[in-house]
Amino acid sequence: MINRKIAPPVNSVSIPDFLMPEKYILSNGANVWYYNAPVSDISRISVIFHAGTIYETNKLQAFFAYQLLKQGSIQKSSQQVAEWLDFYGSYTEMEVMKDFCCFTIYNLNKYAKEILQMVAELIESPGFYETDFEVYRKKQKQRFLVNMEKVSGMARNQFPSLLFGKDHPYGGETNYADYDAIQLNDIKQFYNDAIKEKPFTVLVSGAVNNHLVEVIDNTLGKIKISALLKEISSDVFNVPNYKPQKSYLPKKEALQNAILIGTPLFNRKHPDYFPLMVANTLLGGYFGSRLMSNIREDKGYTYGIGSALATYKHHGYFIISTEVGSDVCADALKEIYIEIEKLCNRKVPEKELNVVKSYMLGDLLRDMDGPFALADRFKNMYINNLPDTYYPNFAEAIKNVNPDEILRVSQRYLSVENLSELVAGKR
């Protein structure tokens, strides 16, 4: 009989070695990575293009090109594509990021041939129809206007420029006029320069059998690849002239103010990334963090507040984000900086650090549960050129980090003097 008055023993989290995917090469030279989990006859197939928005020569060029690419081909209209997907019980997602784009297809394997034939058709010969372009532009303009009515949208649109500058590949902001300025020829130009006949990678998870492998090779493997994507010089990603600054975006009728605080940092390859991730989690990276405990639980200024280390392939930044009542904005800012100062000036107690370690290790373990989750983690490694040992190294770093190291990285990277601040709303 179990004695329920006695708590079960607490054991440390054990992180297994990261399970790497299998690999094979298509007839056209494209790499395919896959996780086989034949629980059901469903697969998720992601086509990863290596040209993200940093390859744009005009604003919105990449975003429009990728989104319109999946809407129709020379052979099929957007309506026919939608009906085709619906008939075969498939759906697609298009993730357009700074460093890459991921075209993902969910489908039943028995219809993989029909679906992937269409996907290959879309990639090789997109229609880029004028009517689709105008309809999509109109929708995006309306969405932008709605987003800019929100203080959070206003703040997030301008914050990258505050950290990196308006001309930096990871900086810049979008204006309403940009939607009028973008033309269909700009989209076709991006397709020709960055997508057409350029290398891509395929990542598959789910039920991967010999039939699916053959179908992928007979469809995606027939897409012509004839030219390498031009590499962007690493020099353009430097931020030599960063100076912390404060910015205010007025919105008189706002009931809440959006607050963003941050500083440019580095990517996941930096030797201080792991210990700084622990420091960030302690500050605002989970529900029991110091910022949540103070700003939400104790003061009641917000429904939620968090901090993060956002990383790109060539750079990264630290960010704190929240929305608070306009009448308590100044008080909330004061408390945020108090928590940052505490982190930078006092060693974290061992007990608090151990709670954060347990949370992070458990979170890392959950991130590896199942083929789709494993594929997502591998995609992160692949896109950022991380070593196979990245996740085991991360787990070991979490286990071994100590209060002295947390204090060191906090003082070096998170000191108040290094932070920029943006507030959108009512003074």
Q: What is the pLDDT of residues 47-92, one digit of tens each?
A: 999 999 999 999 999 999 999 999 999 999 999 999 999 999 999 9
Confidence band for 10, pLDDT divided at 50, 70 and 90:
low
CA-nearest of 203, 200, 209 to 42 is 209
In a domain, 15, yes or no: no
Task: Verify that 172 and 284 share a domain, yes or no.
Answer: no
pLDDT in tens, 369-420: 889 999 999 999 999 999 999 999 999 999 999 999 999 999 999 999 999 9
pLDDT, residue 39, reads: 74
In a domain, 312, yes or no: yes
Task: Verify that 323 and 178 share a domain, yes or no.
Answer: no
Task: Verify that 189 and 300 share a domain, yes or no.
Answer: no
- Cα gap 237→39, rounded to integer Å: 44
Task: Verify that 111 and 131 share a domain, yes or no.
Answer: yes
pLDDT, residue 427, reads: 84
Q: What is the CATH number of the domain that holds 219?
A: 3.30.830.10
What's the mean pLDDT in 166-178? 95
Is the pLDDT at 357 greater than 80? The verdict is yes
Confidence band for 331, pLDDT divided at 50, 70 and 90:
very high
* Residue that is last in its domain, among 234, 260, 285: 234
Task: Verify that 357 and 304 share a domain, yes or no.
Answer: yes
Domain count, the chain: 2
Task: Verify that 186 and 280 share a domain, yes or no.
Answer: no
pLDDT above 70: percentage of residues in the chain: 99
Task: Verify that 210 and 256 share a domain, yes or no.
Answer: no
Task: Verify that 250 and 223 share a domain, yes or no.
Answer: no
In a domain, 14, yes or no: no
Q: pTM for the complete prediction?
A: 0.92
Task: Verify that 411 and 338 share a domain, yes or no.
Answer: yes
In a domain, 13, yes or no: no
In a domain, 224, yes or no: yes
Question: Could you tell me the residue range of the domain that residue 221 belongs to?
Answer: 22-234
Confidence band for 124, pLDDT divided at 50, 70 and 90:
very high
What's the mean pLDDT in 120-138? 97
Average pLDDT, rounded, for the chain: 95
In a domain, 402, yes or no: yes
- Cα gap 288→277, rounded to integer Å: 15
Q: Is 235 in contact with 227 (CB distance < 8 Å)?
A: no
In a domain, 16, yes or no: no
Q: Which residue has the tokens 């460093």?
A: 99
CA-nearest of 256, 186, 195 to 223 is 195
pLDDT in tens, 26-54: 999 999 999 998 878 899 999 999 999 99
pLDDT, residue 266, reads: 95
Task: Verify that 167 and 222 share a domain, yes or no.
Answer: yes
